[in-house]
Chains A and B, each alone.
Chain A
């Protein structure tokens, strides 16, 4: 279940839950009015915490390392299509509203909207 490289521009290594070394795919798209950050779950190539479990902590680490303003990013989580025969490894995007003190809020982003956001 290798994640195709089309989903990311770089592999971002981060401290996962309890400090576990973890990795995700990362794509940052500068749209002037805001910055779109897309984190992609790497499954077998992520040795630690999933992007969903890492949530706020991952977004914060990306902003710190990439010099981004947390309040101005649109944060998307991607579960990529891994060409698995199992249907639950299909491509999906969610916009995530993150807050240190609250549960994240997820909104599914459909393909047409995604294309407008990141193309």
Chain B
């Protein structure tokens, strides 16, 4: 791999990083925090939630920082009134898409979507809410999926595929009909490829996948993915 250093500016700060780095990882090296939801260190970037959109000088287009490779000479802006409004809009659309009622959610106070909405001051949703009413699948011995709270970030799908290596979870359909499924759209108890490893519950940023009867703060452990990836590198 070419490790030719790339020089760019992020929020006016000179940054030097290796080729192939993304704007998000480059920003992290200089302590600039860009908000994310679907991104999780250790998994392939997905660029689905659009919360990490940033401005790049020379173009009007916004780029997802998690999935955009750096280029020499790039000038990136991560915080601006325009981006702030975009991020608020993204959060509102996520809230409007399904049924999110924090007060009675199992992930209340331990939810990344809730943290971001609080941080961005999203106290109202100005879009018509869908109020989805999907059946909850709790047929697994201890894992439960409530698709009404799913934000389709695909962290669970990617963790299941890339880290556990079984690909039990995937997506079906497109657009507003998209849903996370198990095997061939089976009930979880019938999904024989599932190893019950709990990684899906550990990485879920909201209260969509959880372990029944377990305190959510003990279940959630998204950093475990980066830990596993690093350990595996050591084994090679």
Q: Verify that A and B bind, or say they do not.
A: no
Q: Residues on A close to B: CB < 8 A?
A: none
Q: Contact residues of B with A, CB < 8 Å?
A: none
